[in-house]
Amino acid sequence: MNARKLKMDENRSTALDRMLQAAELEFSENGFNGASMKALSTRANVSQSLLHYHFASKVKLYEAVIRNRSRLINDDRIERLEIIDLSQDNALHAVIKALFLPALGPLGGGRAYARIFADLIAGHERDKALVHECYDPTAQRFVDAISKALGGTSRTVGAQIYQFSLGVLASVISRDGRAERLGGEHAVPMEDSVLLEQLARFVVGGAHAIARPNTC
């Protein structure tokens, strides 16, 4: 009996994962308004009734996608943040890498979630409560860390730097090839490790310029 229940739980978990993955792709390609429960069920290879049973509505499924992906990203971010010595000279560089790396890595969802994430940070009224729930607690930790890494700059400045960093991140994780097109015929895509390092340097330089404008 226990073995049978375990097998049923495994099957249920697999089905839920498949539905979430399919929904992430569908919302990415067609946006929230363009996605339908019929298309979502077809992509997930499940019946609409099963999809409605687990998620009730398109809104609930969309929220589940955000909660699932943000949990994976934020858990990784916090784990990386907690091992940083904020008193070290290179602390800000490490903080920014801790913010960026999970989103650029395998837990970040790739281009699919990048498009959803870009919509999230655009500030749609529909998403404000969801962003507050899923991202703000971790964001507060990073704002604190940025402020401390800059020698105790104000939280207002720390929050500005954090928000600017997200804008940079959103433009990069879409990986749409625009940088290569603008770079000309000899431009080649950068390795992820090189990209991460250049992003961190770019943000750190801008952060110092914002925090200490009179020294620039």
Average pLDDT along the chain, 216 residues, taken 10 residues at a time: 45 80 92 92 92 94 95 96 95 95 84 82 84 95 97 94 90 66 66 83 94 69
CATH architecture of 1-56: Orthogonal Bundle (1.10)
Question: Phi then psi for 190, rounded to 5 degrees?
Answer: -85, 150
Q: Looking at the whole model, is its pTM more than 0.85? A: no
Residue 5's pLDDT is 46
Report the pLDDT value the prediction gives residue 172, as an integer from 0 to 100: 76
Structural domain boundaries in the chain: 1-56, 66-215
pLDDT at 9: 43
The tokens for 6 are 């375990």
Architecture of domain 66-215: Orthogonal Bundle (1.10)
Q: Tokens 């946006």 identify what position?
A: 31
**What does the pLDDT read at residue 98?**
95
